[in-house]
Amino acid sequence: MDELDTALNCLREDLRATKAYPVQSAAGLVKLDVMENPYRLSEALQAELGRRLGAVAINRYPAERTRDLAAALAAHAGMPAGCAITLGNGSDELIGLLSMAVSRPGAVVLAPLPSFVMYEISARYQGLKFVGVPLHADFELDEAAMLAAIAEHRPALIYLAYPNNPTGNQWDEGAIRRIIAAAPGLVVLDEAYQPFAQRDGMALLRECPKVLVMRTMSKFGLAGVRIGYLIGAAALVNEIEKLRPPFNVSVLNAEAGLFALEHAEVYAEQARALRAERERVLAALQALPGVQPFPSQGNMVLARVADAAKTFEAMKARGVLIKNVSAMHPLLANCLRITIGTPDENAAMLAALKESLS
């Protein structure tokens, strides 16, 4: 055995048996695969942002501006009294911190499936048992199964994506409330797609101290900046804050986040445009023979076709990149997830899809 083999044998077997999270190359393609906001800022705002970033003291560690960003996000979200906020390098880091926070022998993490894959990945890498509860065939919560799983496994942490990824739907609020009431531990409402949804869970957070609301600036329009935030009862968030790396949000990212919040009306208008485009795309998909789209409250639409793999490759060959999610869960058989883009991007996507189906 050589030195490299010896070194590799020091790594965890479950780590070596898995694959890294795949990121598709989008070079030269209409990019509609990962739920980004397709709109850039105006040239004037881009120039103003450039001046702001150019004045940042990048020789210093992040400190005050990160605290300023946390306060601005709390105000933007309408953080209730008695709550606190912590920041993550995207929601992914926050999910990792939550897994660490509940990581002790016998602890269980529970979530509906299919849902965001990082819930399970993060739990397993912390040595936690993950329990997935399948949704109904129409992607609605199986409330009875969720309550039974809660009673059996007594999870320390439950994730509810609200709206859900990759299905795009927003589950019944009554079912959510009953699941929260039955939960023995933390319940995280993952509101990554809140800018596109009809309702949010802030009222649930006000009513129940075991609820945490997690959001991201990625869908707000800053996917490249990587800022997530978690709001909940101060006593809970202050414990999770202990796990946060001290300088996890850079000064440049904090400044960009603050700049975006100062121009929140620009991003709100972009969200309105994307919601309108979502409804137009949904109607166009409904009119295509052989396509079954599902209702969405996110900036994406899930659609079932006869052969997802073939359709995905045919669309890619026509210059449009979407996401084939059919292998993620049996309920997603032959499903494609399509991000909502600009009107021109959506028109290109619909044309490519129509040609690919024929």
At residue 329, the pLDDT reads 97
Sign of the four-CA dihedral 296, 299, 305, 309? negative
Question: Which residues in 117-260 belong to E strands, given as ranges?
Answer: 129-134, 157-161, 186-190, 211-216, 228-233
At residue 264, the pLDDT reads 96
Assign 184 to helix, strand or coil: coil
Average pLDDT over residues 228-238: 98
Q: Which two tokens stand for residue 246?
A: 């001290």
Instruction: Report whether pLDDT(18) > 90.
Output: no
Instruction: Report whether pLDDT(20) > 90.
Output: no
Q: Which two tokens stand for residue 177?
A: 């409330």
Q: What is the C-alpha separation between 343 and 350, in angstroms, rounded?
A: 10
One-letter identity of residue 85:
I
pLDDT digits (tens, 9 = 90+) for 42-67: 999 999 999 999 999 999 999 888 99
- State the pLDDT confidence band at 243, using cuts at 50, 70 and 90: very high
Instruction: Report whether pLDDT(113) > 70.
Output: yes
Q: Which residues contact 233 (CB under 8 A, 6 or more apart)?
A: 82, 83, 84, 209, 210
User: Do the Cβ atoms of 326 and 309 come closer than 8 Å?
Assistant: yes
At residue 227, the pLDDT reads 96
User: Do the Cβ atoms of 62 and 256 come closer than 8 Å?
Assistant: no
pTM (whole model) above 0.75: yes
pLDDT digits (tens, 9 = 90+) for 302-337: 999 999 999 999 999 999 999 999 999 999 999 999
DSSP for 27-96, written as a single string: TTSEE-SS----PPPPHHHHHHHHHHHHTS-TTS-S-HHHHHHHHHHHHHHTPPTTEEEEEESHHHHHHH
User: Do the Cβ atoms of 302 and 337 come closer than 8 Å?
Assistant: yes
Instruction: Report whether pLDDT(1) > 70.
Output: no
At residue 141, the pLDDT reads 98
**Percent of the chain at pLDDT above 70?**
100
pLDDT digits (tens, 9 = 90+) for 260-282: 999 999 999 999 999 999 999 99
One-letter identity of residue 277:
E
pLDDT digits (tens, 9 = 90+) for 171-222: 999 999 999 999 999 999 999 999 999 999 999 999 999 999 999 999 888 9
pLDDT digits (tens, 9 = 90+) for 80-97: 999 999 999 999 999 999
Q: What is the C-alpha separation between 39 and 29, in angstroms, rounded?
A: 16
The β-bridge relationship of strands 335-339 and 300-304 is: antiparallel
User: Do the Cβ atoms of 261 and 106 come closer than 8 Å?
Assistant: no
> CA separation (Å) from 115 to 70, 105, 119, 269, 337?
27, 25, 8, 28, 13
One-letter identity of residue 249:
V
At residue 223, the pLDDT reads 92
Assign 174 to helix, strand or coil: helix
Q: Work out the mean pLDDT of the chain and round it to a whole number.
A: 95
User: Do the Cβ atoms of 163 and 169 come closer than 8 Å?
Assistant: yes
Domains of the chain (ranges; CATH) run 8-37+265-357 (3.90.1150.10), 58-262 (3.40.640.10)
Longest distance between any two alpha carbons in the chain, whole Å: 61
Q: What is the C-alpha separation between 53 and 255, in angstroms, rounded?
A: 7
At residue 140, the pLDDT reads 97
